């Protein structure tokens, strides 16, 4: 069978996503996964694919999210990037008002299925609104259309992107970081500290000025985009037209969830959130409406598992 895309070793970055866990950790992770899978099978129905902590439903997310909500099933973290209504092959074109209303329906459902100390990270770009704006940040349209509490907006900046002659070439997208409960939410800052500190040994009154684990990575994040094109394609690129990078999602998962927690992506695409979840020992639930993308993401996940196994074999 010919592969749906080229996925060769070294396509996983950050490479720590290939690290192995202890036998005890693996057993506990699989126990939690099996329990979650049983509940889902009983309450929601058989997934399209389930393997080693990665669960994928081939469905409209509205259907699955409603079933989860009706069954009081809760997730700890949702990380997702929806269609931006910009004419991509997987999108239906909508009026801006209809687009906002549609987004509100699934954002509301995500709120209902989120644990009280859980978070929701929404990645959005820009759209054009005829007669009103050329590159209108989708975050301006959506930020308050929810009962979630907006903690902040993260600017994800990158080097490559579309060219422009009569306006500035866009080189950022946003992540809206929402929580449910201002008094109790997961925020593992030490897990994501930036080790790139200019004067790590600088002291004040005999004490180190900077945390030895590194500095706060701030609300502007610099991660390369997943690029496509001859000689410039990122190694992790699949044939999905709108992949976000593992490195960004790795940071989100580390900061906003604990090991064995449940991470949801209702617009699963090529399964980036799933691989970043697995690499951090989180249980993944993905929902994807397009069967080809489901199959592509399963192949990508299985290649990733093989790559992980190969890496662990070379250590002995
Ligand atoms: C921006 S892409 C997500 C890409 C993903 N973050 C990745 O890294 O591959 C949006 C995805 O949502 C899917 N989608 C669109 N409407 C959907 C729906 N109602 N339910 C589930 N998936 C949907 C599309 O097929 C597409 O794969």
Ligand 1 atom closest to Cα of residue 60? 20
Residues 155-168 have a mean pLDDT of: 92
User: Is the confidence at residue 315, as pLDDT, over 80?
Assistant: no
**pLDDT tens per residue across span 29-85:** 999 999 999 999 999 999 999 999 999 999 999 999 999 999 999 999 999 999 999
Closest by CA to 239, choosing from 289, 297, 287, is 297
What is the rounded distance in angstroms from the CA atom of residue 30 to the CA atom of residue 33? Answer: 5
pLDDT at 9: 43
Q: Which residues of 239-255 are buried (b: 16+ CB within 10 A; e: fewer)?
A: ebebbbbbbbbbbbbbb
pLDDT-derived band at 102 (thresholds 50, 70, 90) equals very high
**Which of the pair, 107 or 1, is modelled with greater confidence?**
107
* Spacing, Cα 102 to ligand 1 middle (Å): 14
**pLDDT tens per residue across span 185-212:** 999 999 999 998 888 888 888 888 888 8
User: Is the confidence at residue 316, as pLDDT, over 80?
Assistant: no
Give how far Cα 295 sits from Cα of 4, 103, 191, 235, 302, Å.
9, 25, 32, 19, 11
Mutate to test the pocket of ligand 1, among 268, 271, 297, 299 (most ligand atoms within 8 A of CB): 268
The domain spans of the chain are 48-314
User: Is the confidence at residue 7, as pLDDT, over 70?
Assistant: no
Residue with CA at minimum distance from ligand 1 atom 13? 267
Ligand 1 atom closest to Cα of residue 240? 9
Report pTM: 0.94
Ligand 1 atom closest to Cα of residue 61? 20
**Contacts with 101 (C-beta within 8 Å, 6 or more apart), sequence order:** none
CA 293 to chain centre: 16
Report the share of the chain in percent with pLDDT over 70.
96
pLDDT at 64: 98
User: Is the confidence at residue 8, as pLDDT, over 60?
Assistant: no
Candidate CATH numbers 3.40.50.150, 3.30.70.2740, 3.40.50.720, 1.10.10.60; the one for domain 48-314: 3.40.50.150
Give me 131's structure tokens.
Answer: 């007669």
**Ligand 1 interacting residues, C-beta cut-off 6 A:** 60-61, 81, 83, 90, 240, 242-244, 267, 269-270, 272, 287-290, 293
Residue with CA at minimum distance from ligand 1 atom 19? 60
* Spacing, Cα 227 to ligand 1 middle (Å): 18
């Amino acid at each position: 069978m010919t592969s749906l895309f080229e996925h060769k070793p070294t396509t996983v970055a950050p490479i720590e996503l290939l690290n192995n866990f202890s036998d005890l950790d693996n057993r506990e992770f699989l126990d939690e996964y099996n329990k979650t899978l049983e509940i889902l099978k009983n309450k929601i129905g058989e997934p399209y694919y389930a393997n080693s902590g990665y669960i994928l439903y081939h469905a409209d997310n509205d259907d699955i999210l409603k079933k989860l909500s009706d069954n009081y099933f809760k997730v700890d973290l949702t990380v997702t990037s929806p269609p931006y209504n910009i004419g991509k092959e997987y999108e239906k074109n909508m009026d801006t008002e209809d687009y906002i209303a549609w987004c509100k329906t699934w954002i509301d459902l995500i709120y209902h299925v989120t644990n009280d100390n859980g978070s929701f990270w929404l990645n959005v770009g820009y759209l054009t609104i005829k007669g009103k704006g050329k590159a209108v940040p989708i975050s301006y349209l959506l930020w308050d259309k929810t009962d979630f509490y907006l903690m902040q907006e993260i600017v994800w900046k990158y080097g490559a992107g579309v060219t422009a002659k009569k306006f500035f070439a866009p080189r950022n997208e946003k992540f809206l970081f929402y929580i449910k409960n201002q008094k109790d939410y997961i925020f593992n800052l030490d897990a994501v500290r930036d080790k790139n500190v200019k004067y790590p040994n600088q002291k004040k009154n005999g004490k180190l000025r900077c945390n030895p684990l590194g500095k706060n990575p701030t609300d502007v994040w610099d991660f390369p985009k997943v690029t496509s094109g001859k000689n410039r394609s990122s190694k992790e690129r699949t044939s999905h037209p709108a992949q976000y990078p593992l490195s960004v999602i790795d940071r989100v998962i580390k900061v906003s969830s604990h090991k064995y927690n449940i991470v949801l992506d209702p617009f699963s695409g090529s399964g980036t959130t799933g691989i970043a979840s697995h690499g951090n020992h989180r249980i993944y639930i993905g929902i994807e409406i397009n069967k080809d993308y489901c199959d592509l993401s399963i192949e990508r996940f299985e290649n990733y598992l093989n790559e992980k196994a190969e890496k662990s074999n070379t250590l002995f």
